[in-house]
Structure formats: structure tokens, C-alpha cells
Amino acid sequence: MSEDETKRDDEHDDSEDRAVIIERRRLLVASALASVAMSAQACDQVKRVIGIADPQPCLSPPVRPNVCLAYMPPQPEPVPQVCLSPRMVEPQSCLSVAPTNPPTPFADSDGGVVGTDLTGGAQPCLSAVDPRRRSRTTTREVPTPMVCLSARAPQPDRGSGDIVNPFKSVDDKLDDES
Amino acid sequence: MASARPKRYALAIELTSYCNQKCGYCYNDFRDDGGKSVGALPTEQLLALVDKALTEVEFDHVTLTGGEPFARQDIFDVMDVVKKHGAGVQIISNGGLITEAIAKRLAPYKPSFVQVTLDGATKEQHEAHVGEGHYDKTLRGISLLKMHGVTVCGCIVISRKNAKDVGEILDQFRRLGVKSVALSRLSPSGYAAAQVAELLPSRSDMIVALEQAEARGRDHKMDLQVTMPMPPCVIEHKDFPNVRFGGCPIGTEMQEFALGPKGELRNCTLHADVIGYGEGESFAALVEAPMVMQYRDTTPEFCAPCPHKHSCLGGCGASGVAVLGKGNPLDPFVAQHVDDAFRAQLKAARKGEAPIIPANRLRRASV
Ligand code: SF4
Ligand code: SF4
């Protein structure tokens, strides 16, 4: 190696390259999750992945565009998951999907409970709580996504529909690394 | 039944392990001893094997490579076999052995192109990569090919030594009348795995190179393609609209298999692991072997959350295996920035404290 190159190495610190790569990966994950939440096709794929053969229509109102709490990290206790992606608004229909369930607290995308008093009359989509899977959310070892299991009004498919496993302690991992 | 043949994109035929150049970035394992331990198949055996491969699998085209393919005089016999099957031909050469007679004889075969590499705009810089005494011969080879109407496509192996000079090398290609150039970001495998500290460009290096390339693509309408993966977490492809990017095609219909100088079929020219030997087995079965079909099922741990993992695969797996070892290693191009152990190794090697012994060397030493 020439003297010049050795000198360059002493001077060159790749921490910016490193930071950019980690941050870009985080953004790639985030944007993919947003598009998954927006995509009816992707939603169907998730449902198939977790074994829901006959999803119910989900017509709950938009609360926070592009955020689907289905993709929140696994919680220590079962927390009802709410699909917050923009959809056709029909709260009654949504509740009628799960008539026996009372409205349940919403959870924030990073896991905090934000309460039930949501503006805009948003109704939690209780169909997302799949009792067969509920117990599994108590362990971080076997993270299982709680997704909106119901069929939604078709949205423009903005994602590839390529379902990744964003639930595998992704946020833990990204937090550790950044 | 002929129509039931599987269709695949390409077969790279490594005609010989001999090469007149001694490139530091050579991805062939056999570069170590100039190909002596590997050699090449005798003509009859080679022709029969190529014929068998093209009978059993419908390849769109073959890429004749090596070593240096023009080191074999029977290269034209191989092309005759390929033409008989109606497949296209392209050739990767260093240009140094091309004579007037070869260029003249080659022209009627109408190869899609002969790809010739220049790693520097000057003799010194090019020869710093490939060894002394080759620059003028390569330029002469390009001129002869062009003089006889053979399409020449350029290639730059982008290393940390020449990344900042990519624009000048592209200008040199343009002066030679070559407007289509492959930007081959160094992927350290084979012999080059041991040169990883010296040659591997960083993300910043590649951005400098790509900015220069983008300007040539835009202003001079050069046709530029990066031929090694540049993962989307490393580079924003949209920033370089006049440069094309691709990904690893293994396991897809776009895969280019490698038929090595011992008659072995591999996943690509950079991968050293053998899928099987075409002489004793059916190529149709080999191209669908688990080593091929399951290639995309596993990806590096770093990529677990990434939505691109099934298309990107974490970059070039061959260089990952060569440098970092089996498992699902990340492409060293990415790992150099995010794998702490490897990062430290590179730093130490570049300070001259401890050389990096790549996994492929360790493996060979233990056999
Ligand atoms: S798959 Fe891996 S290397 Fe490719 S973009 Fe994603 S994180 Fe980066
Ligand atoms: S492993 Fe994939 S990216 Fe790397 S050289 Fe082979 S085909 Fe290309």
C-alpha cells in the first residue's frame, strides 16, 4: 500500500458511511411498513401468513395515515392491535365485526397505550385481536404480529406486497445499532 | 423433448485458467498459481461438454471467459458449437492477446460484444491493478476489435485505488470509441479476497465514482451499468438516474451459471462451490439443484428486517463467503461499515498491523 493510501486510512473515518447505512436501512424498513399498511394486497398476504382463511370486512375509520399498529413490536401483555391505515369509514360496520367486544384501548406505534378517546370517532378494529394468537404476544421470543385480519376496501397497491418479517425484534435491533 | 428444456439466461464458460495478466482483483481462485493447478479441459472434452450443456438447457447466450479466453486457440470451435445451438455469444477478455488475425476471424461470429477492462486512464494506474506491460496491449486489442467491426464494451473494476479516477477512465473509453461500460464494483472473491484491505472501495469511494459516472452518462450519453450489487441501504439508486443498477440474479431466470475449467458447474463465476459436474450429470437437473433453488431463501442477519432482502440478498454472496466465510455473510462492501469485527480487521490490515486471511484461504489451508 502506498504511503498516500496509508495516510488516507488514518484520516478516513467511515463512521459517516456506517451511520448512513444504518439510517437508510431504518428508513427502508419504515417506508416498507407504511406501504404494507396501505396495501390491500399486502394485507391479504399477512392474513394468509398467519392463517386467516376468511377475513371479515374492516371498515374502521382512518386515524393516522400510514401507520398500522399491526406492525408494532410485540408487547409483554396482550394489547389489542388496531389498524390505523386510511380506509373507508364505517365505524358501525367495524364494530359489528366484533359485536361482543367492547372498545379497547389503542396502543401507540411504540407500544404505549394512548387511550380510547380518539378524535374523529375512530373505532378500534377488534377483529385484529386473534384469540388464537393472543397468548403468544406475551413472549418476545416468539413475536407474532397482530394484524388487521379483516379485508379492507382496496387501496392502491403502493408496496411490492413482499411481506417481510418486520416483527423479529426489528426495533430492538435498530435501536441497539443506531 | 427439446421444448421441455429449462430456460436460463446465461452460461459463463471459463475456457482456461491461464491468464497473461496478473490482476490483484482477480475473482478466480486459480489466479494464485496462474492456473497451473487447474489447467483446462482438452478440446474434445470441452466441446462435448459445451454441446451437452446447450442441449440440456436453453441458454440465451454464453459468455466466454477464463482466465483469458483468447489464450485458447480453439475458442472459435467453441463458438461454432454455441452458434449451432442458436445461442448468443459475448466475450470477456483483457484484450492483450488479440491480434489482427484474431480480430478478423472473430468479426463474422458477431459476438454481442467483447468486454475489455481498463482500470486506469494512464499506463501506471492501469498496470498498478493488472501487472506491468499490459496497458498498451489492451489499447491495441480494443483498436483492432473496433477496426474489424467487433462491438467493444468497456469495464472498470472500481477499487479504492481508482474510484476517484472513474471519470477519467470513462473519458479514455470515450476517446477509444467505447460508450458502453460496465462499472464493476470490486467484489473480493477468489484471489482478490486476500487483497480486500488494499482494494475494497468504501461507500464514500463509490459515491465519488458514481457521481463522475453519472455526469458522463448524462452529458455524453454513455451507457453505464454497475455490474455488482450496490445495496439500496448503501446507495440511493435514484441519485444516479443515468447509471443502471442490478442485483444478484442467482436462483432467478436471469442467472449466469459458470462452467469452470474442470467442467464444474457453479452458481456464478465468483462462487467457488460446485453444484455438480456436467459430464456425469444432467445440466437440466443441475440448474434446478437445491444449491440454486434455495439460494435466495436465506439472507444475512443484518438484513433480517429489510424489505429488500429477497431481492438484494445483502449484496454479493460470493464475496461474503470468500472473505467472511460460510453461513449467510453480508457482502464485505456493506460489512466493512457495519460489522465491527471486520471493520477492525480492515483497519489493522491497512495500518500494516495484521493482514486479513480471508475465509477462502483458511478453508483451502485446512483441506
Ligand atoms: S437486504 Fe441488507 S444489504 Fe440489502 S438493502 Fe437491505 S439491509 Fe442493505
Ligand atoms: S454472488 Fe451474485 S452478485 Fe455476487 S458475483 Fe455471483 S451472481 Fe454476482
Q: Write out pLDDT tens, residues B8-41.
A: 999 999 999 888 888 889 898 888 777 778 888 9
* Interchain contact B236–A (C-beta under 8 A): yes
Q: Whose CA is nearest to atom 5 of ligand 2?
A: B270
Q: What is the pLDDT of residues A64-87, one digit of tens each?
A: 323 333 333 333 333 333 343 333
Give the predicted TM-score (pTM) of the model: 0.74
Give the per-residue pLDDT at B126: 93
Q: Tell which wins on pLDDT, B297 or A92.
A: B297
* Interchain contact B305–A (C-beta under 8 A): yes
Give the per-residue pLDDT at A152: 35
The verdict on the CB of residue B24 being under 6 Å from ligand 2 is no
Pairwise CA distance, residues B342 & B338, whole Å: 8
Pairwise CA distance, residues A149 & A73, whole Å: 17
Give the nearest partner residue to A1 out of B304, B307, B350, using CB atoms. Answer: B350
Give the per-residue pLDDT at A97: 29
Is the pLDDT at B337 greater than 70, yes or no? yes
CA distance B288 to chain A (A): 24
The verdict on the CB of residue B316 being under 6 Å from ligand 2 is yes
Is the pLDDT at A63 greater than 80, yes or no? no
Give the per-residue SS3 of chain A.
CCHHHHHHHHHCCCHHHHHHHHHHHHHHHHHHHHHHHHCHHHHHHHHHHCCCCCCCECCCCCCCCCCEHHHCCCCCCCCCCCECCCCCCCHHHHHHHCCCCCCCCEECCCCCEEECCCHHHCCCCHHHCCHHHHHHHHCCCCCCCCCCCCECCCCCCCCCCCCCCCCCCHHHHHHHHC
Residues of A in contact with B350 (CB under 8 A): 1, 5-6, 9
**Residue A87, C-beta contacts closer than 8 angstroms, at least 6 positions apart:** A58, A59, A60, A61, A62, A152, A153, A155
Amino acid identity of residue B123, one-letter, is: K
Among B348, B356, B297, which Cα is nearest to B325's?
A: B356
Burial of B71 (C-beta count, 10 Å sphere; 0-12/13-18/19+): buried
Interface of B with A in 127-186 (CB under 8 A): 160-161
Residue with cell 459445451: B50
Residues of B in contact with A20 (CB under 8 A): 203, 234
Residues of B in contact with A164 (CB under 8 A): 305-307, 309
Helices A3-11 and B340-350 sit at what angle, rounded to 10 degrees? Answer: 140
Ligand number nearest CA of B312 is 1
Give the nearest partner residue to B304 out of A12, A28, A168, using CB atoms. Answer: A168
Q: Tell which wins on pLDDT, B228 or A25.
A: B228
The verdict on the CB of residue B226 being under 6 Å from ligand 2 is no
Q: Domain range holding B137? A: 6-296
Give the per-residue pLDDT at A2: 52
Is the pLDDT at B145 greater than 50, yes or no? yes
* Interchain contact A174–B (C-beta under 8 A): yes
Pairwise CA distance, residues B231 & B236, whole Å: 9
Mean pLDDT value of segment B273-295: 93
Ligand number nearest CA of B304 is 1
Burial of B330 (C-beta count, 10 Å sphere; 0-12/13-18/19+): buried
3-state class of B355 per DSSP? coil
Interface of B with A in 76-135 (CB under 8 A): none
Give the per-residue pLDDT at A31: 58
Q: Could you tell which of A25, A26, A31, A164 is best to mutate to test the pocket of ligand 1, judged by most ligand atoms within 8 Å of the CB?
A: A25
Q: For residue B117, tell me if it sits in a domain.
A: yes
* Interchain contact B252–A (C-beta under 8 A): no
Pairwise CA distance, residues B3 & B1, whole Å: 6
Lowest-pLDDT choice from A83-92, B147-156, B200-209: A83-92
Pairwise CA distance, residues A91 & A84, whole Å: 13
* Interchain contact A178–B (C-beta under 8 A): no
**Residue A176, C-beta contacts closer than 8 angstroms, at least 6 positions apart:** none
The verdict on the CB of residue B309 being under 6 Å from ligand 1 is yes
Give the per-residue pLDDT at B169: 97
Interface of A with B in 126-145 (CB under 8 A): none
User: B347 and A9: CB-CB below 8 Å?
Assistant: yes
Q: How confident is the model at residue B150 (pLDDT cuts 50, 70, 90)?
A: very high
Give the per-residue pLDDT at A156: 28
Q: What is the pLDDT of residues A101-158, one digit of tens each?
A: 333 333 444 444 333 322 233 333 333 333 232 222 222 222 233 334 333 333 323 2
Determine which of B230, B296, B308 to mutate to test the interface with A (most A C-beta atoms within 10 Å).
B308
Is the pLDDT at A23 greater than 60, yes or no? yes
Is the pLDDT at B176 greater than 70, yes or no? yes
CA distance B175 to chain A (A): 29
Give the per-residue pLDDT at A93: 31
Q: For residue B345, tell me if it sits in a domain.
A: no
The verdict on the CB of residue B296 being under 6 Å from ligand 1 is no
The CA-based angle B110-B111-B117, given to 5 degrees, is 135
Give the per-residue pLDDT at A50: 44
Give the per-residue pLDDT at B36: 79
Mean pLDDT value of segment B118-145: 94
Mean pLDDT value of segment B193-217: 96
| In chain A, where the domains are located | 1-178
Residues of A in contact with B336 (CB under 8 A): 14
Rg (CA), chain A: 20
Q: For residue B139, tell me if it sits in a domain.
A: yes
CA of B302 to the centre of ligand 1 (A): 7
Q: How confident is the model at residue A28 (pLDDT cuts 50, 70, 90)?
A: confident
Count the domains in chain B: 1
The region, left, alpha or beta by phi > 0 then psi within -120 to 50, assigned to residue A154 is beta
Percent of chain A clearing pLDDT 90 (strictly above): 3
Is the pLDDT at B189 greater than 50, yes or no? yes
What integer best gives the mean pLDDT of chain B?
92
Residues of A in contact with B310 (CB under 8 A): 162
Q: Could you tell which of B228, B233, B248 is best to mutate to test the pocket of ligand 1, judged by most ligand atoms within 8 Å of the CB?
A: B233
Q: Which atom belonging to ligand 1 lies closest to the Cα atom of A21?
A: 8
The CATH number linked to B155 is 3.20.20.70
Residues of A in contact with B161 (CB under 8 A): 5
User: B234 and A16: CB-CB below 8 Å?
Assistant: no
Rg (CA), chain B: 20
Task: Report residue B150 as a C-alpha cell.
Answer: 467487433
**Residue B97, C-beta contacts closer than 8 angstroms, at least 6 positions apart:** B20, B68, B70, B71, B137, B141
**CB-CB neighbours of A13 under 10 Å:** 10
Residue B324 and residue B344 in contact, taking contact as beta carbons nearer than 8 Å: no
